[in-house]
Structure 1
């Protein structure tokens, strides 16, 4: 039978190490230049803590509850029903921590823009995207935690009078679609300002390319399509797919997605130390 456990360990360890290294360099550079810490630095730390929590949950799920392996190959001291219940709890925890990691990564980038583009026409667009990002964060967090009332019904099938009125496919598709739209808008924001800089064409292209480093993110949310997330609908009478075997695809892509967000953010800090905007 397939075993995705090594894939999970690689996706978590390699990208988490790279993101931690980038964050440490960022904070050290701010201290070394005596520039002081700003709001975007604190938001970056919160985003990293959210990602760290996400990956801790993923590793706990993999080590203790069989993520990456078929349900039948899970812990032998648990019945299949208990394994499925534990998997559903882990999915809920990763959904919450993923929301924090992605939202605060976006906010850190937007606050970085706010700091360096002090006299720019795009500040209005930055305000709008800040409001939309906070709204996305609160809405997704609200829907994740209240998909069922009581919340325990997400993983406990014995609760018969539970109310679960939020369609899983619609929820995940709508939040992922808005996530991608916000990401594209955030990527596009600085291009106009950079194009106006008095720089040689080669340097201008290099700077724009630096800002557009985050374009790699465009492929990451595709791991979270409705087809993938409908298998996380906890309220089906019959479990149609083995979610400990199929769900590793999602944590693997989400782990990489957040880390690309953070590395993209740290690359842009390098721009802050090289270009003075007025």
Structure 2
């Protein structure tokens, strides 16, 4: 039992794989929900018509991303049980790496759009330059 090799039996591997499967689904949905709540919050702060239209476009993209990428993660293999049950040999699976890369790329684009969304409106505020930069920095802290 060098390096704790015997501690992970088949039961633990199955449980871990099932938890990882559920975790990926929950992460995809929650990622879209958190971003959606941020955009909705910004819409309440900046009520201009132009801002609302841009925010609504981002909201649609977030909803589509959350929905359309949950489906391939949920149905990544046929039958679905074969994701965590390695005894099922007759299975067909998607290229999850490609799905993950495309989801990650879209998530980065969404993050950048949300980060840039309030900057033009903050820049138009009638306050000193140092305060405008401070407000932009405060909005940008969420991107860290």
Matched, 1:207 2:140: no
CA distance in 2 between counterparts of 1:188 and 1:203 reads 17
Which residues of structure 2 form unaligned runs of 5+? Answer: none
Identify which of structures 1 and 2 has the higher relative contact order when contacts are C-alpha pairs closer than 8 Å and 6+ apart.
1
Moved over 4 A (4+): none
TM superposition score normalised by structure 2? 0.90
| Conserved 8 A contact 1:106-1:133 | yes
- Following superposition, the deviation at residue 120 of structure 1 comes to 4.2
1:39-80: per-residue Cα shift (whole Å, max 9, x none)?
xxxxxxxxxxxxxxxxxxxxxxxxxxxxxxx77263xxxx62
Q: Which residue of 2 aligns with 1:96?
A: 25
Q: Secondary structure, in 3 states, of the residue corresponding to 2:78? A: coil
Q: Which residue of 2 aligns with 1:116?
A: 45
Q: Which residue of 2 aligns with 1:188?
A: 116
CA distance in 1 between counterparts of 2:4 and 2:32 reads 32
Select which of 73, 78, 87 maps to 1:158.
Answer: 87
Between Structure 1 and Structure 2, how many residues are aligned? 142
Matched, 1:72 2:1: no
Q: Secondary structure, in 3 states, of the residue corresponding to 2:77? A: coil
- Following superposition, the deviation at residue 100 of structure 1 comes to 2.4
- Following superposition, the deviation at residue 201 of structure 1 comes to 1.1
CA distance in 2 between counterparts of 1:194 and 1:141 reads 34
RMSD: 1.7
- Relative to 1, partners in 2 of residues 1:160 and 1:83: Cα closer, same or farther, differing over 3 Å? same
1:3-51: per-residue Cα shift (whole Å, max 9, x none)?
xxxxxxxxxxxxxxxxxxxxxxxxxxxxxxxxxxxxxxxxxxxxxxxxx
